[in-house]
Amino acid sequence: MDHFTYRGGRLHAEDVPLEEIARAVGTPAYVYSTATLERHYRVFAEALAGLPHLIAYALKANSNQAVIATLARLGAGADVVSGGELARALAAGVAPQKIVFSGVGKTAEEMRAGLAAGIRHFNVESVPELEALDGVAQAMGRVAKICFRVNPDVDAETHEKIATGKAETKFGVPIGDAPALYARAAAMAGVEPVGIDVHIGSQLTGLHPFESAFAKVAALTASLRAAGHAISRLDLGGGLGIPYRASNAAPPLPFDYGAVIRRTVGHLGCEIEIEPGRLIAGNAGVLLASVIYRKRGADRDFVILDAAMNDLVRPAMYDAWHEIVPLQEPAPGAAIAPADVVGPVCETGDIFAKARDLPPLGAGDRVAFRSAGAYGAVMASEYNSRPLVPEVMVSGGEFAVIRARPTLEEMIGRDTLPPWIEPARA
């Protein structure tokens, strides 16, 4: 459930008409709903109620300070995958002891930053990383708490670009190698294994892959404990999918996901950590855009928007479907015709939707891309020198810009000329 609804024929974010935001900020622009973010955090908290747990919001989904701070105020931790995300989590007020550091390629500098901040644990994905972390921690006179991220060789049944749990992907250590790796880590002075981590992919629309992966983690917990390792934390990753397309079957609810967790690992007496990103932020955001032109094509019309693949890359990158809805509610029985919805970027792949059934949108009309709160703004670029898309947050009847659109001067001002080129004279 989200808080983007038509009221009096106008699409609102909570109590604010989106048209008002579009006029004030211009388009394209991302708009987030505080109430939806909070609701999504709470449904996870309720799903795990009674189990000792930490909801470590995966910052990669949306790392705007206002989004992180909104969740941190409710008690959320953070899953970070870079020094930049670590700094963002700390700046937004996430307690260091609630931050977990994931990722296959942590640098020594990032490890030092994590240790200096006193984060909760590192998820270690290889032997070279283990050795590096041991060295960095010893040099600092610290002991790094670690979980190995195990690769359970489970098919997440999602888009291949976001499936991470199969043996052939770059992620984690083979689950069969875990006993030897824990023994090795236990003998090191700079690291202390405290738990097990697993993350099998993103936008999962079935519970079955989670169940298989978590069952393997439960079995591994038992065998590691039998070998004398104190396993007290299980980080089960993120990945629960969201409904992008109204006509598709809805993915499982956090409550049912929580039931799988209880059933598979709930009896182990471990602290349960999860790293949801998309389910928290995805349906808490829309991307607003305006129609620049409607153009006749050979087969059907093109609706050319002022938003493009650089602002929301998911359709171009994963053939992802985002519902596109007009800010002005179409009259009942309004004509619907298929059109291709595209952006102005000079690439054939700059297309948001092919033959999408839409009301007859014309120049100046405004639309919202739904489910754009996760992996939207964070994946935006300035390709074609289109300034980074701004972000706005709504709470009740109020809205605030939480990242302004850079001016062209700011955008160009980030470049610097080498000393051998004379600056151009204005």
Q: Could you give the residue numbers annotated as active site?
A: 346
Nearest residue (CB) to ligand LLP, 25 versus 240:
240
Q: For residue 323, give both structure tokens.
A: 């519902």
Nearest residue (CB) to ligand LLP, 152 versus 277:
277
Gyration radius (Cα) of the chain, Å: 23
State in angstroms the smallest separation of the CB of 123 from ligand LLP.
7
State in angstroms the smallest separation of the CB of 350 from ligand LLP.
17
DSSP-derived 3-state class of residue 183: helix
Nearest residue (CB) to ligand LLP, 122 versus 375:
375
In 198-240 the beta strands, taken as DSSP E runs, fall at: 233-235
State in angstroms the smallest separation of the CB of 362 from ligand LLP.
30
Q: For residue 238, give both structure tokens.
A: 């993120």
DSSP-derived 3-state class of residue 186: helix
**CB proximity list for 8: less than 8 A, separation 6 or greater:** none
DSSP-derived 3-state class of residue 181: helix
> What is the distance, to the nearest Å, from the Cα of residue 100 to the centroid of all Cα atoms in its chain?
15
Q: Which of 171, 175, 123, 172 is nearest to 144 (CA)?
A: 123
State in angstroms the smallest separation of the CB of 138 from ligand LLP.
26
DSSP-derived 3-state class of residue 30: strand
Residues tagged in the binding site annotation for pyridoxal 5'-phosphate: 239, 275-278, 375
State in angstroms the smallest separation of the CB of 270 from ligand LLP.
18
Classify residue 385 as left (phi > 0), alpha (psi -120 to 50) or beta: left
Q: How far, in Å, CA of 330 to CA of 327, rounded?
A: 9
State in angstroms the smallest separation of the CB of 202 from ligand LLP.
3
Q: For residue 79, give both structure tokens.
A: 């899953």
Residues tagged in the binding site annotation: 239, 275-278, 314, 318, 347, 375
Residues tagged in the binding site annotation for substrate: 278, 314, 318, 347, 375
Nearest residue (CB) to ligand LLP, 41 versus 375:
375
Nearest residue (CB) to ligand LLP, 190 versus 254:
254
* Cα-Cα end-to-end distance for the chain: 53
Nearest residue (CB) to ligand LLP, 53 versus 314:
314
In 81-215 the beta strands, taken as DSSP E runs, fall at: 99-101, 121-124, 144-151, 173-174, 191-197
H/E run at residue 43: helix 34-47
Q: For residue 160, give both structure tokens.
A: 């291949």
Q: How far, in Å, CA of 339 to CA of 358, rounded?
A: 7
Residues at the interface with ligand LLP (CB under 6 A): 58, 60-61, 79, 102, 162, 199, 202-203, 237-239, 275-279, 314, 318, 375
